[in-house]
Amino acid sequence: EAEVEVNDSLMRFFDHCAKFVALVEENEAAMCQVNAFKEGPEMRKVLEKVASALCLPVEELNADLVQVAFLTCSYELAIKNVTSPWCSLFSEEDAKVLEYLNDLKQYWKRGYGYDINSRSSCILFQDIFQHLDKAVEESKSSKPISSPLIVQVGHAETLQPLLALMGFFKDDEPLKANNYIRQTHRKFRSGRIVPYAANLVFVLYHCDQVKTSTEEYQVQMLLNEKLMSFHHSNETISTYTDLKDYYKDILENCHFKEVCELPKVNITAVDEL
């Protein structure tokens, strides 16, 4: 019965950001780390093993084909709960290599690889806080909360940049083609951050019995139904005032049009990024 509003400019901000589309989405050079890993020693070892199992010359396989086989195995296990014959081609170590290949792509295309990936999501971040602000104002005025629940539906491509904008799952060292071993214990694991039905929930609380007025409104964040610790406090609950203050720069300096505008001078995509 609910009315649904389609707002692609908000929920598919990445499609509306010319700089992201031209310099990342459609720019092969932006995926240089991904392509280098496909040709690297870790993937070469997986290729040779799969080729041997299939009795094929290794020259007839490439990283993309092997990844398709691995994803087929993954999808059937996740969706149908059956073990695909394709799964027999891969060991746990092979799976870790292929997981890293996918994480590299998500890191450079949707995560911390380039600033524009996350910066383009600032309009969605602002929108979330505008809804929270409205609820706080209505509560302070003793008015009924006009929108006690707001549901916005997007994709992993919507959520991953937003989480990067907020600074979650950021490793000290960037994910690269040549540091697979050093990234064994990385925070950035896209399969855990944005699995099927991934969701991010902001919960706003009105607290009656508090010592100061700043504690009256507090917030929790849950990612995939699990509480998140805030960066500024390392706690799972924050005053709304402190949270807004921590993200003040993003909330006050989100200029989507300027951020997403393509450079007018001739400059290489890599230099610009």
**Strand, helix or coil for residue 40:** coil
Note whether residue 217 is domain-resident: yes
In a domain, 2, yes or no: no
Q: Strand (E) positions, the chain?
A: 200-206, 217-223, 226-227, 238-239
Q: Which sign, positive or negative, has the C-alpha torsion 230, 234, 238, 240?
A: negative
Positions of the chain with pLDDT under 70: 265-273
Q: Is residue 107 part of a domain?
A: yes
Q: Phi/psi at 238 (nearest 5 deg)?
A: -140, 150
CA gyration radius, the chain: 22
The pTM of this model reads 0.92
Indicate which CATH number applies to the domain containing 103. 3.40.50.1240
Determine, yes or no, domain membership for 48: yes
Instruction: Find the domain containing 170 and state its range.
Output: 9-260
CA–CA distance, 231 with 181 (Å, rounded to integer):
27
- Total number of domains in the chain: 1
List 64's β-bridge partners, or say none.
none
> What secondary structure letter does DSSP report for 219?
E
272 in a structural domain: no
1 within a domain of the structure (yes/no): no
In this structure, the strands spanning 226-227 and 238-239 are unpaired
CA distances from 216 to 28, 132, 191, 222 (A): 50, 14, 36, 20
Pick from 197, 204, 202, 203: nearest CA to 224: 197
Question: What is the pLDDT at residue 263?
Answer: 84
